Amino acid sequence: MRVHVVDPPAYTPPYDNSLCAALTRTGADVELITSEFLHGRAPDLLGFPVDEHFYRASAKRGSGARGRKPQKAIEHVAGMYRLRTRTAAADIVHYQWLDLQVLDWLLLPAPRPRLLTAHGTLRGGRPGWGARRVYHQMDAVVALSEYGAAKLREQAGVPSERVHVIPHGPLDYVTRIPSPAPLPAELNGSDGPVVLFFGIVRPYKGVDVLLDAVQQLHGTGAELWIVGRTLHVDVEELRERARRSSIKVRFVSRFVDDREIPPVFERADLVVLPYREVEQSGVLYLALAFGKPIVMSAVGGFPEVAARGAGRLVPPGDVESLAQTIGDLLERPEERRQLADSTRAAVAEHYSWDAIAKDHIALYRELLGE
């Protein structure tokens, strides 16, 4: 079976690479068609070819170059037309992201069957007209959770028989990096328990709620690490909240390369995702990969992960509940160990990439009428 996995903007290279590697292990002939990843080193390739087919000219200008967006839009249309020739020999074309949905529904290559994985595109309510048209051009849409599947049916109007739930796997490629970097210098010198918030700091992720919660962690000897670049947030306001905290708060406010991830997660005693809203989160699947105890808001697909023992839930935006849950786990190392054991068990039993690949192959065969 020849499978083309297509991610034009390279939004999710960790997922793309993990899925392609797992599909390859099943015996499928897999190729990833994507673009150059501009925000740091992409995950190492794992035994399948990669064609950086899209945005070759604009990639040379860098991710923040002025005028890159219009050039990228032109290149996207051209790339989608060239894709028609590239995918002609594929049995299955599996899209991960489509970046210009208002046109993409017209630009999709003809070969069928084709399917799309819905990566968090439903956050924020009803999808736009272009997204709905793209969904309806697909023979199947993969949701990463039952929550996402319900959104696809109810808000995007995708027929139930076309919606298939296949979970996200742990981003465990990071645990196998042969030469990880040392701990970032900003984080050196900690000897107490570490509470970690990781990933791009955006308003919906509730870092302000977390900073208010840790003000109540007197006497724990813990530190809070906020690791990741900021986007559309008032950094000074967050730092002011940190100065009022009863525990030490450290910031690494930049993009963190894959090689820096292992020492950060290995040092963390607790990973916290205090999101106000979300469908899925790559950070959750990093925490699963490292077998960490997790505290997360009861939003989106998170309760489905917690139901398998991989984490504790708190109401979104509830400072008191978040502070209580973090404080209890910091004071009870044995409970943290038990929660970490449950996390590793959930990964082994439900979230392994080999099981996920088998589910995809079964779906591909169904679409092919085999």
pLDDT, tens digit, 9 for 90 and up, residues 159-168: 999 999 999 9
Token pair 């943290």 is found at: 336
State yes or no: pLDDT of 219 exceeds 90: no
Q: Write down the pLDDT at residue 63.
A: 54
pLDDT of residue 351: 94
Higher pLDDT residue, 215 or 65? 215
Confidence band for 47, pLDDT divided at 50, 70 and 90: confident
pLDDT at 43: 60
How far is the C-alpha of 208 from the C-alpha of 91, rounded, in Å? Answer: 47
Question: How much is the mean pLDDT over the chain?
Answer: 91
Mean pLDDT of 265-286: 95
Span 163-207, pLDDT tens digits: 999 999 999 999 998 889 999 999 999 999 999 999 999 999 999
In this prediction, residue 292 carries a pLDDT of 97
Q: Which two tokens stand for residue 255?
A: 């993009």
> Sorting pLDDT into bands at 50, 70 and 90, what band is 248?
very high
Task: Say how many residues make up the chain.
Answer: 370
pLDDT of 144 = 95
Q: Is residue 309 within 8 Å of residue 346, measured between CB atoms?
A: yes
Query: Quick one: pLDDT at residue 129?
Result: 86
Q: Residue 40: its pLDDT value, please?
A: 62
Average confidence (pLDDT) over 71-90: 90
pLDDT recorded at residue 99: 82
| Residue 37 confidence class, pLDDT cut points 50, 70, 90 | confident
pLDDT-derived band at 57, boundaries 50, 70, 90: confident
pLDDT band at 64 (very low <50, low <70, confident <90, very high): low
Residue 363 token pair? 């779906």
pLDDT recorded at residue 110: 81
Q: Look at residues 307, 370, 304, 368 and name the one whose alpha carbon lies nearest to residue 166.
A: 304
pLDDT-based confidence at residue 18 (cuts at 50, 70, 90): very high
| Over residues 85-91, mean pLDDT | 90
Residue 252 belongs to what H/E stretch? Answer: strand 248-252
349 versus 65: the higher-pLDDT residue is: 349
Say if residue 300's pLDDT is above 90: yes
Distance CA 262, CA 258 (A): 8
What do you get for the CA distance between the two ends of the chain, in Å? 11
Write out the H or E segment, with its range, that includes residue 194: strand 194-198
pLDDT at 118: 93
Confidence of residue 65 (pLDDT cuts 50, 70, 90): low
Write phi, then psi, for 88 (nearest 5 degrees). -60, -30
Picking from 210, 212, 221, the residue whose alpha carbon sits closest to that of residue 248 is 221
Q: Which residues share a beta bridge with 294?
A: 271
Please say if the pLDDT value at position 123 is more than 80: no
Three-point CA angle 245, 250, 251, nearest 5°: 120
DSSP symbols for 254-287:
S---GGGHHHHHHH-SEEEE--SS-S--HHHHHH
Q: State the pLDDT at residue 301.
A: 94
Mean pLDDT, residues 221-229 taken together:
96
Location of structure tokens 């139930």? 160
Q: In Å, how far from its chain's centre is CA 338?
A: 25
Which pLDDT score is estimated for 128? 83
Average pLDDT over residues 304-320: 96
Q: State mean pLDDT over 148-160.
A: 93
**Structural domains of the chain, with CATH:** 2-169+352-367 (3.40.50.2000), 176-349 (3.40.50.2000)
Predicted pLDDT of residue 52: 92
Cα distances (Å, whole numbers) of residue 220 to 194, 244, 267, 278: 10, 16, 17, 30
Place of tokens 């594929």: 90
Q: Is the pLDDT of residue 73 over 80?
A: yes
How far is residue 257's CA from residue 251's CA, in Å, rounded to a whole number? Answer: 15
